[in-house]
Amino acid sequence: MKKTLANYSMFLTATVLLWIKTYFVSKFYFNIPLENKMQQFILLISPISTVLLFFGFTLFFSGKARNRMILFISFIGSIILYANIVFYRFFNDFITIPVLFQTSNMGDLGSSIFELINVTDIVFFIDVIILVVLMKFISAKPGHVTKKQVASVFAAALALFAVNLGLAETERPQLLTRTFDREMLIKNIGVYNYHIYDIFMQSRAQAQRALADSSEIVDIENYVKANRVKPNENFTGIAKDKNVFVIVLESTQDFVINNTVDGEVITPFLNELITESYYFPNFYHQTGQGKTSDSEFLLENSLYPLPSGAVFFTHSQNEYDGMPKKLKEEGYYTSVFHANNKSFWNRDVMYDTLGYDRFYDVNSFNVTEENSIGWGLKDDDFFQQSIKYVKNLPQPFYTKYITLTNHFPFTLDEEDQLIPPWDSNSGTLNRYFTTVRYMDEAVKNFFERIKEEGLYEDSIFILYGDHYGISENHNKAMSQFLEKEVTPFESAQLQKVPFIIHIPGHEGKVIDTVGGQIDMKPTILNLLGIDARDQIYFGNDLFSEERSDFAVFRDGSFITKDYVYTKNICYDKATGLETEMEHCEPYKEKSETHLDLSDRIIYGDLLRFFNKEEQLLLKNSQK
């Protein structure tokens, strides 16, 4: 009995400690809703199969070597769990394999990462500390175990996983084939099984390109064209041959528009601008883990970003029918202004793929300690320094500005604070209002300079929020600000971002249609009078009188005119209360189809076939 105890004491202790720690983090740290006792039980047992499997490999060793391996695996398991904890603190999401390989971004994260790490986080490694202590005080060393015993451990791990998956399938049918929602996977198969599954899915995605053929794109083309609505002819070409300024309002959510904090107006310039612009108050961001780069991908391609990682990283060498490429064909000069490293989000590679003529990165600006903060050059300096370039661009031009100052952790020098920080339990939200206000002023000053340079009258301005700034981890403070509870329904509504189209000389108008970033490309091209019917895209003209009110999020949630579907619950938009699922079912199928077809295009690089076939048809028609 003593020999058996010596053989398995460290093994069992490490297994139980990592299992229980993982369960407690999943239940009490990650904001995972559990609706019944079965889901509670699934969450409890989900980590054990992988934990047992990992530690099972240590049984091939004996003596000190086994104990060292147990300690090593326990440490690796804790690192994986802790990485998800830190990532979740801001993104309210879980790490995927593509995110881990986005290492070129890490050097630029700086204060953002340190803001998310706490000294008390040592508690998440308590099991490793306990094992180190036990190794020093346990004198008996584990001996060899038989092959039968090792096989029994692996068999037990597989049996437990089968039970876990069987129970999960009863709660969530087709769990592993509907992977838009990572939270659902974590809830049902656990953190470690989720990462194993993610590795499998990424490997499969890599194989999809090699196995893809031209027949797939034909079916997708037929679907998207059948679901495309006719653009509003009253708006077709009203901005023809005008310069296009696209301004990306970093981390700006729509709740700050026409709102105040402690009596201070948060966005005075944007509030004034929308009175003489086309403003879309029911416009939603649709980004995934690529955040700002995902919003750019949506803008330029009217395709959805991927369920994990950033398309700018994982599929930058694909062939796309990007808006810059299309505009160049129409005589436009295309450029981007962004005072960050050109390699951040792999932009230098992706911009070439999309067809941009010029990228003005950080090396195009004079960045000093005095004019930069947080992620780099302050917005006002960024806009002002860009004028010397933009006034000399060949016209007509299409140029995109990506702002930086209103970026987590939302720090700002005191002399730049036009309103004081708010007072709540969330320092992030408190600072957010000051950086939004600063950005608003910087945009105002930019408009004034554009007018001074004589570029204003012959240009149109597209302003949009790229993604949320305040995650669900700050719901308590947001409830205080909004003076109402932030339920899953309200959280979905908070994904609204500003979308403003300003055309000098046009009167302001509020367009209530429900839409999203997927709709930006067809809307802009129609305003410019450019026909893109020969392209494959999923959005529709936001001015179209034939469009249906619809926006789907990357996790499969969606918004319509009357309903909100999120967290597997259908809500009545008028009341905010749960309603029968039958109301959401038709849109649910549409949402999943859109995401699936878009993913197939990207994973298979299917537009390479579409373009080649189009060119062949064109050549044949000219013979």
On the question of pLDDT at 251 being above 50, the answer is yes
Q: Give the pLDDT of residue 256.
A: 97
- φ, ψ of residue 139 to 5 degrees: the values are -80, -35
> Model confidence over 214-245: pLDDT tens digits?
888 999 999 999 999 999 999 999 999 999 99
Q: Are residues 205 and 223 in the same domain?
A: no
Q: What is the pLDDT of residue 611?
A: 67
Pair (345, 383) in one structural domain: yes
In a 3-state reduction of DSSP, which class is residue 508?
coil
32 and 149 belong to one structural domain: yes
Boundary (domain end) residue, out of 156, 190, 209: 209
Each residue of 441-453: pLDDT tens digit?
A: 999 999 999 999 9
Lowest mean pLDDT among 270-279, 337-346, 392-401: 337-346
Q: Worst-scoring range by mean pLDDT, 33-42, 221-230, 459-468, 531-540?
A: 33-42
Segment 504-530, tens digit of pLDDT: 999 999 999 999 999 999 999 999 999
Query: Does residue 428 sit in the same domain as residue 566?
Result: yes
**88 — phi, psi (to 5°)?**
-70, -30
Lowest pLDDT segment from 78-82, 432-436, 448-452: 78-82
CA pair distance 117, 46, nearest whole angstrom? 27
**Nearest CA to 278 among 529, 505, 24, 122?**
505
Average the pLDDT over 289-305 and give the result.
95
Q: What pLDDT does 563 receive?
A: 97
Does 378 lie in the same domain as 338? yes
Q: What pLDDT score does 619 carry?
A: 41
Quick check: is 214 in a domain? no
What pLDDT, on the 0 to 100 scale, is given for residue 140? 63
Instruction: With residue 558 as reference, give the H or E element that holds it.
Output: strand 558-560
Range name among 194-208, 374-388, 431-445, 535-549 with the lowest pLDDT average: 194-208
pLDDT of residue 323: 96
237 shares its domain with 255: yes
Flag whether 299 is in a domain: yes
User: Per mean pLDDT, which of 202-206, 530-534, 541-545 is the most reliable?
Assistant: 541-545
* Whole-number Å distance between alpha carbons of 228 and 560: 17
- Tens of pLDDT, residues 549-607: 999 999 999 999 999 999 989 999 999 999 999 999 999 999 999 999 999 999 999 99
User: What per-residue confidence (pLDDT) applies to 113?
Assistant: 65
pLDDT band at 481 (very low <50, low <70, confident <90, very high): very high
What's the distance, CA 125 to chain centroid?
29
Residue 428 contacts residue 410 (beta carbons within 8 Å): yes
Q: What is the mean pLDDT of residues 447-476?
A: 96
> Tell me, what's the pLDDT at 491?
95
pLDDT band at 480 (very low <50, low <70, confident <90, very high): very high
User: Same structural domain for residues 265 and 401?
Assistant: yes
Among 50, 58, 96, 292, the one annotated catalytic: 292
pLDDT at 306 over 60: yes
Contacts of 110 (CB under 8 A, 6+ apart): 375
| Helical ranges in 315-378 per DSSP H | 323-329, 347-354
**554 and 480 belong to one structural domain:** yes
Q: Diameter of the chain by CA atoms?
A: 89
Closest to 307 (Cα-Cα) out of 65, 603, 6: 603
CA distances in angstroms from 205 to 209, 308, 398, 603, listed in the order given: 7, 11, 33, 6
Q: How far is CA 451 from CA 274, 372, 457, in A?
A: 18, 26, 8
Assess whether 198 and 223 both reside in one domain: no
Q: Please report which helix (H) or strand (E) contains residue 360, including its range.
A: strand 358-360
Structural domain of 526: 219-622
CATH number at residue 293: 3.40.720.10
Mean pLDDT computed over every residue of the chain = 89
Distance of CA 498 to the CA centre of its chain: 17
Against a cut of 0.95, is the pTM above it?
no
In a domain, residue 63? The reply is yes
Q: Which of 209, 242, 263 is the last residue of a domain?
A: 209
Does residue 269 share a domain with residue 144?
no
Q: Are residues 157 and 64 in the same domain?
A: yes
Domain annotation covers residue 456: yes
> For residue 623, what pLDDT band results from cuts at 50, 70 and 90?
very low
Under 8 Å between Cβ of 463 and 249: yes
CA atoms within 13 A on the CB side of 556: 20
Mean pLDDT for the stretch of residues 377-385? 97
188 plus 259 within the same structural domain: no
DSSP conformational letter for 496: B
pLDDT level of residue 4 (50, 70, 90 thresholds): low
Decide if 487 is catalytic. no
Domain count along the chain: 2
pLDDT given for residue 91 in this prediction: 67
**DSSP string of 242-310, one letter each residue:** -EEEEEEETT--GGGTT-EETTEES-HHHHHHHTTSEE-TTEE----TTHHHHHHHHHHH--PPPSSS-
pLDDT score of 121 = 87
Residue 14 has pLDDT above 70, yes or no: yes
> Please, how many CA atoms are within 13 Å of residue 572, restricted to the half-sphere of its CB?
6
Q: What pLDDT was estimated at residue 622?
A: 45
Domain boundary (162, 189, 209) is at: 209
Q: Is residue 337, in this structure, part of any structural domain at all? A: yes
DSSP state of 228: P
Over 50: is that where the pLDDT of 1 sits? no
303 pLDDT band, cuts 50/70/90, is: very high
Q: What is the pLDDT of residue 178?
A: 55
pLDDT one-digit tens code per residue, 323-370: 999 999 999 999 999 998 887 778 988 999 999 999 999 999 999 989
